Amino acid sequence: MKIAVCIKQVVTRDWPLRVAESATWVRDDDASFEMNEPDAYALEEALRLKELLGGEVVVCSAGPARVSQVIREALARGADRAIHVEGEALAAAEADAVAAALAGAMEGESFDLVLTGLQSDDQGFGQTGVVLAERLGLPHATIIMEVDVADDGGSLRVKRELESGWFQWVSMPLPALLTIQSGINQLRYATLRGIMAAKRKEILTVPAQSAETAGQRILELYVPEKSSATRFIDGSAPEAARELVRLLREEARVL
């Protein structure tokens, strides 16, 4: 089974981000970066499927030169080779542009299965996977918590997470694309042996082709206003608790 995993490099979760002077993007030139967490789960799922079914796992990432960091990490965790669609503008690109860049590089590969994380920690569009499926002409399913490949390798049965604790099994023919939900599996980390092996693995770098995309322009990026002024209730625990209950009854009227 030939599996592609699309991963994105994002600013580290707890990095103290600031808005750039342009007020349309963040100051990330000195930031530290990491693999987008949902994509890490997609990678882990791909590695597990390969261990079960054989084949290869190809990491695909669209972004500037710096994304080679997360590509190396994915190779160290066990992916076999990588395709890096390189372009400076991809760092802040919208989902449609990223999907177009990836589709251009992935089209000729004839993957059996394409996995992506369900959304990214930075722009959080949650669209790249679905748009990529549309561009590659593949059936898709989103927010997946379990993947079963049929014995004949011709179809899939996957467990989709719905809202409010509901789930649903969906079958579809292969090739297909799935967006993977965090928590579907337990992540593995790279071993020293994996890190050494990764150095010998192939990374194919291709320049991003400019694509016609619809476009969403960020006019301004800003820190959200605090939505309410908190009323702190002081005093001992019994005093504060009594005052809280009084306020909830008489002021907020929710009890």
Of 33-52, binders to other proteins (CB under 8 A) are none
- Dihedral angle over CA of 116, 122, 127, 131, nearest 10: -70
Give the interface segment with other proteins, choosing from 13-21, 58-66, 188-196, 200-208 (CB under 8 A).
13-21
189 or 232: CB nearest other proteins: 232
Q: Is 116 in the site for other proteins (CB under 8 A)?
A: no
Residue 166 or residue 189: which is nearer to other proteins going by CB? 166
Q: What is the DSSP letter of 149?
A: E
Q: What is the dihedral of CA 185, 6, 215, 224, to 10 degrees?
A: 40
Euclidean distance between CA atoms 37 and 69, whole angstroms: 15
Both structure tokens of 120? 């990214």
54 scored as a contact of other proteins (CB under 8 A): no
Among 36, 61, 116, 127, binds other proteins (CB under 8 A): 127
- Residue given tokens 């009854």 in the structure block: 249
Q: Which residue in the set 75, 102, 131, 208 belongs to the binding site for other proteins (CB under 8 A)?
A: 131
| Nearer residue to other proteins within complex by CB, 173 or 207 | 173
CB of 252 to other proteins, least distance (A): 4
The only residue of 8, 50, 72, 140 in contact with other proteins, by rule CB under 8 A: 140
Q: Which is nearer to other proteins, 192 or 255 (CB)?
A: 255
* Interface residue with other proteins, options 163, 192, 193, 200 (CB under 8 A): 163
For residue 189, state whether it binds other proteins (rule: CB under 8 A): no
Closer residue to other proteins, CB minimum distance, 70 or 138: 138
The 3-state DSSP class for residue 128 equals: helix
The answer to whether 103 touches 60, Cβ cutoff 8 Å, is no
Binding of other proteins by 215 (CB under 8 A): yes
Query: What x-and-dash track marks residues 216-245 binding other proteins by CB under 8 A?
Result: xxxxxxxxx-xxx-xxxx---xx-xxx-xx
Stretch touching other proteins by CB under 8 A, among 45-53, 63-71, 73-81, 134-142: 134-142
The reply on whether position 184 binds other proteins by CB under 8 A is no
Q: Does 211 bind other proteins (CB under 8 A)?
A: no
Distance CA 139, CA 173 (A): 8
> Containing H/E element for 250?
helix 237-250
Nearest-5° Cα angle at 70, 65 to 76: 125
Tokens of 213: 């995309």
- Position among 58, 90, 99, 106 found at the interface with other proteins (CB under 8 A): 99
- Half-sphere exposure of residue 215, counting CA atoms within 13 Å on the CB side? 5
Number of residues that bind other proteins (CB under 8 A): 76
Q: Do 65 and 59 form a contact (C-beta atoms < 8 A)?
A: no
The answer to whether the CB of 181 falls within 8 A of the CB of 161 is: yes
